Amino acid sequence: MSAPPPPPPPANGYGYAAQPELSPQDQKLWATLTHVGGILLGFIAPLITFLVFKDRGAFVREHTKTALNFQITMTIAMIVSAFLWIILIGILLSIGVFIVVIVFSIIAAMKANAGEQYRYPLTIPFIK
């Protein structure tokens, strides 16, 4: 007589095995990379990390959600400033938005690396 087969892994609702929670060090790493990635790739980096890691820990979920909301807000600001280039104020607005993205993303990355929560100012909460 053979032993019964092992039970299947728990599913996450999509038919895939549930992923284990990340260690606190890994959560801090991915949260930091999300904020830095936002400088280089806009909302794409936070979107990917949010979709991949949102169920792998509360810390990384909050940071990726916050970064995604900020980057979406800044993308909208860049689009508005692009339309305002016609009257030349858009050039200054584009430079300002770019500086805001760099400064606040660096601050957020430093907070994430220290294990602290951070809320970007000037952010519309699209994802709650």
| Token code pair at residue 114 | 């220290």
Q: pTM of the prediction?
A: 0.84
Q: Which pLDDT score, from 0 to 100, does residue 64 have?
A: 96
* Domain boundaries defined on the chain: 24-113
Q: What is the pLDDT of residues 4-36, one digit of tens each?
A: 777 666 555 555 666 788 999 999 999 999 999
Percent of the chain having pLDDT more than 70? Answer: 90
The alpha carbon of 43 is separated from its chain's Cα centroid by a whole number of angstroms, namely 8
Residue 17, φ and ψ in degrees, nearest 5 = -65, 140
What residue spans of 8-118 are helical by DSSP H? Answer: 24-41, 44-53, 58-83, 89-113
